[in-house]
Amino acid sequence: ARTLHEGFVYTRDSTHVGNSLILYYPDGLRNVQPTPGTIKYIFETERGVCFAVRYHLPLHSHLDPFRHYPHFPARLFSSALAEHLTIVMPEWVVSHFARWNFSPQHIVAVSLSQVCCVPS
């Protein structure tokens, strides 16, 4: 129902929704934008702990209004989740995120990363 990885608690959504909301690099590819998803299951494999995640679908019909604010870690996504589960390794996770229901069809995902990049 829950696991601890590098000091952060991760849970499946049926245990604690807030700790199940993650931003992760799809397939561990760090050259793409992180994707918001919800942990449905946590399970053990020979490689260690893994998450089974349903991710929020990207928007194709709307421009993200947050694209103009590169230092504000928010992005607009569909409120719909993928039908299938995606396997995510804990090391692919960037951070938890806060989810705000922007409209019935859209959510805003705000990164809760503890890393701050402020230009001096």
pLDDT 10s digits, 68-119: 998 898 999 999 999 999 999 999 999 999 999 999 999 999 999 866 554 5
Q: How far apart are CA 16 and CA 19, in angstroms?
A: 6
> Which pLDDT band, with edges at 50, 70 and 90, does 120 fall under?
very low
Dig out the tokens for 68 from the structure.
């103009």
End-to-end CA distance of the chain: 42
Furthest-apart CA atoms within the chain: distance in Å:
44
What is the value of pTM for the model shown? Answer: 0.89
